[in-house]
Amino acid sequence: MEKIISEIKNAADKVAKKSNEIYEFSKVKLNIANVKSEINNNYKLLGKTVYEVQKNELSDDADRIEEIINNIDELNEKLTELLSVLSTYKNEKICPKCNKNTDKDTLFCPACGYRYKNVSVDDDFYSVNDED
C-alpha cells in the first residue's frame, strides 16, 4: 500500500512540475507577443514622426526619432532574450549566425551551416582531402 501511495505522490509531483513548465512556457510566449507588438507600434510611430519631420521640414524632432530608435533596439534585445528562453523550453538552441532554431544536439546549423562550438566534432571526418 505504501508503494502505491509513493507512486501516486511521484506521479502527482511530475504532473505539478509539468503544469508549472507549461505555465512558464505560456508566459514567455505571451511576453514575446507583447514585445513584438511594442516593436511594431514603435516602427509605426517612427514612420509617422519621420513623415511629419519631412512634411513640415522640422529639425527639432531628431531627438524624438533617436529615442524611438533606441527603444526599438532595446525591445529587440529583450525579444532575443525571450526567444532564447523559449528555445530552452523547446529543447532547442539558436544559431548565433542566422538566428534559426535548431535541435540542441545539432552539430551544424541546417539553415546556414554554422558549426556550433560547444559540441565536439571529429575534424578528420569533416576535413577536405586534397588527394581525392
pLDDT digits (tens, 9 = 90+) for 37-53: 999 999 999 999 999 88
Could you tell me the CA-to-CA distances from 53 to 42, 57, 62, 130 in Å, in that order? 16, 5, 8, 60
Query: How far is CA 25 from each of CA 17, 18, 58, rounded to the nearest angstrom?
Result: 12, 10, 46
**pTM to 2 decimal places:** 0.66
- The yes-or-no verdict on residue 20 having pLDDT over 50 is yes
- 3-state SS string for the chain: CHHHHHHHHHHHHHHHHHHHHHHHHHHHHHHHHHHHHHHHHHHHHHHHHHHHHHHHCCCCCHHHHHHHHHHHHHHHHHHHHHHHHHHHHCCEEECCCCCCEEECCCCECCCCCCECCCCCCCHHHHCCCCCC
Residue 11 has phi, psi (to 5 degrees) of -65, -40
Single-letter amino acid, residue 127: S
- The neighbouring-strand residues paired with 108 are 115
Task: Give residue 129's pLDDT.
Answer: 39
The average confidence (pLDDT) of the chain is 84
